[in-house]
Amino acid sequence: MAELRKLSAKRKVDDALNARNGPDKEGLLPRSLALGSEVLVYLTVDMVNGPAEFRSTHIKPYERLEEQPTDENPEPFEYPEVVQPRRRGRPRKAKEAVAHQFISAKEQQSYELAVEYRNEGRITTPGKPFEQSDWEEIESLLTAGVIVPIRRTAIPNAKLFGCRLVREVKGTKEAPYEKSRLVVQGHSDWEKITLLTQSPTIMRCSQRLILAIAPTLRQMGMQLMLRDISQAYTQSSTELRRDIVIAIPKELEGRYPEGVVFRVVKPLYGIAEAGLHWFATYQKHHEQRLHCNQSSYDPCLLITRPGRSFGIVGMQTDDTLNLGEPEFIQLEETELLRAGFKAKPATILNTGSEGSFNGCIIKVHKEAVLIRQKNQGERLSVVDTKQESARELYVSQRARGAYIASSCQPEAAFDYSIAAQAHEPAKGDFDTLNKRIKWQIENADRGLQYISLDLSTAQL
C-alpha cells in the first residue's frame, strides 16, 4: 500500500505541474548554458537486441563522471563555418578573375593557316587575320535584319547570351579566303526545354531510295544534282517568337558604344529553334514554287505532283539531293534565284564526277552509283583495353563505326548492334569491337553500289 500511495502522489504532482494553468516552473528549469558547454546529443539505451543509440530531442547538459580526465586548459570554442547552399544556375565569375577565351584545335589551325597564306601572298585581305571577315559577317547580318543593335536597357528582362565568331579558311589552296560566322552560345538557354527545337532530317531509307533509282533514271535522260545553301539559318522567312539578346563579340567591342547589345530578330546559328525555322522555310519553298508534295513517311522526302516535270528531293538541313528531269532541275535553279536564297552553284553529277551529301561521298559511274563514307573512317582506331579511358573510347568508337555502318556499310551493322548492348564491356566485347573496327579501317573505301534496274518489275 505504501508503494501505491507513493505512485499516486507522484502522479498527482506531475499532473498539477503539467496542467495548462498550473504553477510557474521556470525556476525549476535549467538555466541557459554558457557558450561552449557540452550537451547530450546521443543516448545509449539497452534494448532487447542490444544497445541502441537515440538522438536527443532536448538540450540537456552532459555531465562527465569525476573519474574521467578532463582538459585542464580547454581550447576556446570555435563555431564551425556555415556552408552556404549552392544556388541554382552557373556560379558567378569573381570580379578579380582573369578571363580566358579558349578556341578549338580546328580554329587554331585555321588561324595559323591564314597567317601562312598571308605570308605567301595567297590571302591579300587588308588588316589582321580574319579582321575583315569578322566585320563583313556582322554587316551582312545587320543588312539582312537578322540582328539589330539596341541599348541593353531597352529589354532589361531578356537573358543576355554570349556569342563568338567561328573562323575558318575556305576555298582552294590556289584561291583561299577567310570566313567568319557569328554563333550564339545557347548552351545555357533554359527556355529551350519548352520549345519545339528538333528539325527533321532525311531518313537513310529515303536517301537510298533516291540513289537506288538514280542509275536507271539517268539512262532515261534525268539528272542527279546537289544543292548547298549558304548561311541557311539566317535566310529563314519567319522571325523568332521570343526576345534573345547577345553581347557584342569581343573582337568588335571597340566599334560600338558601351551598353549596346544585339537583339536577334531572325534565326541565328546556336539558337535552339533556328533549324526548325529554316526547315519550314525551305520545305514551303519546295511545296509552293517547285510543286512538290511531302511523302507519307518522311517529311524530308519530296516528290513532284502529277502533271509536272518529274523530280524527287531529299532535304538534309542546308543540303538537298535532287533527281529529276532537266526541266525540273532548271526550275529549281530559276525559283531559287527568284526567292533570293544565297546558295553555291549547283553540282550536276555526271559520269565520273562525285559530290558529298549527308556524310557520304557519291560517285557516279556509267551504269551505277557508288557511295562511301567521307571522313569518319580516318578517326576510327582500335580501343586499347589497358588505358584508363578504355570504356569511354569503347563508346565513342562504337558510335563512330555505327554511323559508317548505317550510311554505307550495312554488313557491319549487326556487330555494332550487339556492341550497343554491352553497358559494362568485358574483354570479349572489346575484342569483337576491335575486330570490326580493324575491318572498317582496312576497307575504308568500301561502300554501297547501286546498279541500273528494270523499273517495270522492280519492287520495294
**Structural domain spans, the chain:** 105-195+239-264, 204-237+274-371, 376-448
CATH number for the region 204-237+274-371 comes to 3.30.70
Residue-level pLDDT, tens digit, the chain, 460 residues: 788 888 888 888 788 767 665 555 555 555 566 767 777 776 677 777 778 777 666 667 776 766 555 556 666 656 555 556 666 665 565 554 444 455 567 778 888 888 888 888 888 888 888 888 888 888 888 888 898 999 888 888 888 888 888 888 887 778 888 888 889 888 777 777 777 667 788 999 999 999 999 999 999 999 999 999 988 888 998 898 888 898 888 888 878 888 889 999 999 888 888 888 999 999 999 999 999 999 999 999 999 999 999 999 999 988 999 999 999 999 999 999 999 999 999 999 999 999 999 889 999 998 899 999 888 888 888 988 888 888 889 999 999 999 999 888 999 999 899 888 888 888 888 999 999 999 999 888 899 999 998 888 877 7
Label each residue of the chain as H, E or C.
CHHHHHHHHHHHHHHHHCCCCCCCCHHHCCCCCCCCCCECCEEEEEECCEEEEEECCCCCECCCCCCCCCCCCCCCCCCCCCCCCCCCCCCCCCCCCCCCCCCCHHHHHHHHHHHHHHHHCCCCCCCCCCHHHHHHHHHHHHHCCCEEEEEHHHCCCCCEEEEEEEEEEEECCCCEEEEEEEEEEHHHCHHHHHCCCCCCCCCHHHHHHHHHHHHHHHHCCCEEEEEEECCCHHHCCCCCCCCEEECCCHHHHHHCCCCEEEEECCCCCCCCCHHHHHHHHHHHHHHHHCCEEECCCCCCEEEECCCCCCEEEEEECCEEEEEECHHHHHHHHHHHHHHCCCECCCEECCCCCEEEECCEEEEECCCEEEEEECCHHHHCCCCCCCCCCHHHHHHHHHHHHHHHHHHCCHHHHHHHHHHCCCCCCCHHHHHHHHHHHHHHHHCCCCCEEEECCCCCCCCC
| Global model pTM greater than 0.75 | no
